[in-house]
Structure formats: C-alpha cells, structure tokens
C-alpha cells in the first residue's frame, strides 16, 4: 500500500480549499452577521413596540417565579429562585419568526431573479424569425430593365 505524501495537514488544506467548504464558511459568516442584525431589530425596535402595545411591559424580563429565592439572616442567597423565563422564550420565538420571514423573502426574491434570468436566456436562445431576403441591387436593376422593355 502506497503512503500518501500529502500528510494530514496537506489533506486538511485540500479539504478546506474545496469550493463547497468555502461557500459553507462564507454562508456561516453571513448568517452570523444576519443573526446579529435581526437580534438588534427584535431587541431595539420590535420588542419596545410590542411592550408599548401591551402596556409598557419589557417582554424579555417577563418571568414567572415558581419558587422565590431563600435568603439567610445576612441577606445571602441560600437557595436560588425557580423561574420560568416566559418573556425571553417569547422574544426568541419572535426573533425566529422574523428571521424565517426575512429568509423567505430573500429566497423568494432569488427565485424570482433566477426565473427572470432563465426567461431572458430562453428568449435569447429562441431562433429569431428571419426577415425575407431583400432583393439585391442587381435584381432590382434587372426588374427595372424588364419593366422598361415591356413598355
């Protein structure tokens, strides 16, 4: 059996330089940036509006305390409180719905652009109707000469 001379790092470099791996890496970077944008949109624009609509409640801080924390005589926490973070869960759901909707719009726009590009390409590939061949100067002169001879 012949040993590969590339070695581990050579194989890794070859793997990393494949087109689909690079495309995936670029997609992850763009998705991360897109996630930050949508998080800012949800946290800084949409949630304050939702909070205003529901009476000034900061939805992200809306929690249900199942069991309050236990303190000792000095005020130190002996047992942590048991809390359901309903608000942060709802914010996460809203964030997901916004991201899903924006991705839907982007995919829809890309599909439409692809459809338009394919239609243009198909139209360019269709054979154009050729105009009937126009008579040459010699043919026109011959016709004129024949007409003159007839008269």
- pLDDT of 144 strictly over 90: no
Q: Does 42 reside within a domain?
A: yes
Q: Give the pLDDT score at 5.
A: 66
In a domain, 140, yes or no: no
Q: How confident is the model at residue 62 (pLDDT cuts 50, 70, 90)?
A: confident
pLDDT of res. 113 = 93
The per-residue pLDDT for 1 is 47
Q: Is residue 37 part of a domain?
A: yes
Instruction: Let me know if residue 46 belongs to a domain.
Output: yes
The residue segments making up the domain with residue 29 are: 7-126
- As for how many domains the chain has, the answer is 1
pLDDT band (50, 70, 90) for residue 17: confident
Residues 59, 46: Cα–Cα separation, whole Å: 11
| pLDDT tens per residue across span 116-130 | 999 888 888 777 777
> How many CA atoms, within 13 angstroms, populate the side-chain half-sphere of residue 126?
7
As a whole number of angstroms, the distance between CA 139 and CA 133 comes to: 12
CATH code, domain carrying 49: 1.10.1200.120
Model-wide pTM > 0.75:
no
Q: Is residue 23 part of a domain?
A: yes
Whether 82 is covered by a domain: the verdict is: yes
């Amino acid at each position: 059996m012949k040993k590969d001379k590339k070695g581990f790092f050579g194989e890794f470099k070859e793997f990393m330089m494949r087109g689909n791996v690079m495309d995936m890496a670029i997609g992850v970077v763009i998705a991360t940036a897109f996630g930050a944008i949508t998080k800012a949109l949800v946290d800084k624009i949409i949630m304050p509006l939702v909070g205003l609509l529901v009476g000034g409640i900061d939805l992200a801080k809306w929690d249900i305390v199942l069991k309050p924390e236990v303190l000792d005589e000095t005020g130190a926490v002996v047992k942590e409180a048991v809390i359901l973070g309903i608000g942060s869960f709802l914010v996460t759901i809203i964030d997901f719905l916004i991201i899903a909707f924006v991705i839907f719009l982007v995919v829809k726009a890309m599909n439409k652009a692809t459809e338009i590009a394919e239609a243009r390409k198909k139209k360019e590939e269709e054979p154009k109707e050729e105009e009937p061949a126009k008579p040459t100067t010699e043919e026109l002169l011959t016709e004129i000469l024949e007409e003159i001879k007839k008269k």
